[in-house]
Amino acid sequence: MGKIKQFLHDVMSEMRKTSWPKSKELTKYTVVVVSTVIFMAIFFVLVDLGVSKLFRWYLDL
């Protein structure tokens, strides 16, 4: 039980040392992540459609 208590104490100590982003920074980071995810999703959908179309064209020969 003492090891768990010491571990939690160490975790809290390290968390106090952490520099947390401000609200504006957090908003910017969130916008960057969401826009990147949307861009990558659209990119992979288009690539998948293109590969599927090429594969179907190849099978129809």
pLDDT at 61: 81
pLDDT at 2: 87
pLDDT (tens digit, 0 to 9) for every residue of the chain, 61 residues total? 889 999 999 999 999 999 989 999 999 999 999 999 999 999 999 999 999 999 999 998 8
Which residue segment(s) compose the domain that 4 sits in? Answer: 1-60
pLDDT at 7: 96
User: Based on the structure, what is the number of domains in the chain?
Assistant: 1
Q: How far apart are CA 27 and CA 33, in angstroms?
A: 10
